[in-house]
């Protein structure tokens, strides 16, 4: 076990990582709720997607990236990837018991509270939907609420979003993919869609367009990025690590793939132009 509590400082950065650019949707919530904080974003795009990797491979990648972020002085860690959270967060917490760590998981609990008819679709990667943690959560929430969760793997969707193909054209390949995955869920009468991958928030407009093409019923989308940012704020406060005064908060990007791809994602998805570096980790 490794302890970092003794040298963590409020003016240190927060480390955020994902298999690619999907975690930028979580970063957006963190910047909104914790605007004074310095942030480091690590896109492991050279090893994406995580969905086709073994659990041990995802654990190994997560540990290696976390070690790098800690070398950069990170005071807290956000695992902004559903697949990495499901596979690796237990190992990360065991390795770094004093490090504030926040993961993401599909919002099954809030979805059950929102749904009127108890029929909920969970859109996620194949790997995430096979994870024991998610399946156990589904059983727990179903038993407590009576909700039915229909799991829909969205194979290839995260890859499209990595390329900033966001379904803006109703006739493009991303839109066709969404049609294929969402229409059958609506035919089964779901009234709530859980966006179970951080990438999917970036195609929210296209998802809503697909929904409107098939039903006049009110369909609610559930995204967990806001809850992740709130939990991060709670952990920072509990450890007295929140930065309260920072006129020029810094944002630094790292990627294991092309610098240009991550820079394009920052610009196209968040309208930001932070410095981006390539790393081999």
Which of the following is catalytic: 81, 86, 101, 265? 81
Give the CA angle between residues 268, 32, 35 to the nearest 5°: 110
**Cα 219 to Cα 204: distance, rounded to the nearest angstrom:** 12
State yes or no: is 164 an active-site residue: no
| CB 45, CB 262: distance < 8 Å | yes
| CB 25, CB 37: distance < 8 Å | no
Which of the following is catalytic: 88, 101, 151, 197? 197
Chain centroid offset of residue 123 CA: 13
State yes or no: is 154 an active-site residue: no
Secondary structure in 3-state letters for the chain: CCCCHHHCCCCCCEEEEECCCCCHHHHHHHHHHCCCCCEEEEECHHHCCHHHCCHHHHHHHHHHHHHHHHHCCCCEEEECCHHHHHHHHHHHHHHCCCCCEEECCCCHHHHHHHCCCCEEEEEECHHHHHCHHHHHHHHHHHHHHCCEEEEEECCCHHHHHHCCCCCCCCCCHHHHHHHHHHHHHHHCCCCEEEECCHHHHHHHHHHHHHHHCCCCCCCEEECCHHHHHHHHHHHHHHCCCCCCCCCCCCEEEEECCCHHHHHHHHHHHHCCCCCEEECCC
Residues labelled catalytic: 81, 197
């Amino acid at each position: 076990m490794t302890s970092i509590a003794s040298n963590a400082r409020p003016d240190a950065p927060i480390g955020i990582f994902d298999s690619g650019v999907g975690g930028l949707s979580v970063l957006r919530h963190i910047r909104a709720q914790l605007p004074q904080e310095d942030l480091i974003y690590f896109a492991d795009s050279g090893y994406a997607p995580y969905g086709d990797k073994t659990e041990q491979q995802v654990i190994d990648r997560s540990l290696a990236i976390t070690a790098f972020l800690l070398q950069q002085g990170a005071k807290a860690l956000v695992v902004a990837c559903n697949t990495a959270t499901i596979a690796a967060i237990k190992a990360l917490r065991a390795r770094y018991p004093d490090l504030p760590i926040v993961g993401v998981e599909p919002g099954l609990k809030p979805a059950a509270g929102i749904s009127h008819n108890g029929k909920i679709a969970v859109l996620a990667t194949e790997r995430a939907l096979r994870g024991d943690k998610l399946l156990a959560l589904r059983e727990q929430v179903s038993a407590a609420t009576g909700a039915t969760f229909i799991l829909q793997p969205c194979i290839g969707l995260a890859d499209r979003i990595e390329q900033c193909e966001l379904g803006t054209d109703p006739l493009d390949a991303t839109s066709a993919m969404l049609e294929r995955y969402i229409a059958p869920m609506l035919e089964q009468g779901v009234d709530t869609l859980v966006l179970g991958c951080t990438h999917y928030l970036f195609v929210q407009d296209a998802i809503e367009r697909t929904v409107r093409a098939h039903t006049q019923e009110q369909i609610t989308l559930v995204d967990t990025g806001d809850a992740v940012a709130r939990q991060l704020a709670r952990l920072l406060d509990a450890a007295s690590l929140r930065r309260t005064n920072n006129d020029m908060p810094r944002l630094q990007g790292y990627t294991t793939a092309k610098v240009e791809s991550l820079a394009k994602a920052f610009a196209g998805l968040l309208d930001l132009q932070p410095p981006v570096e390539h790393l081999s980790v």
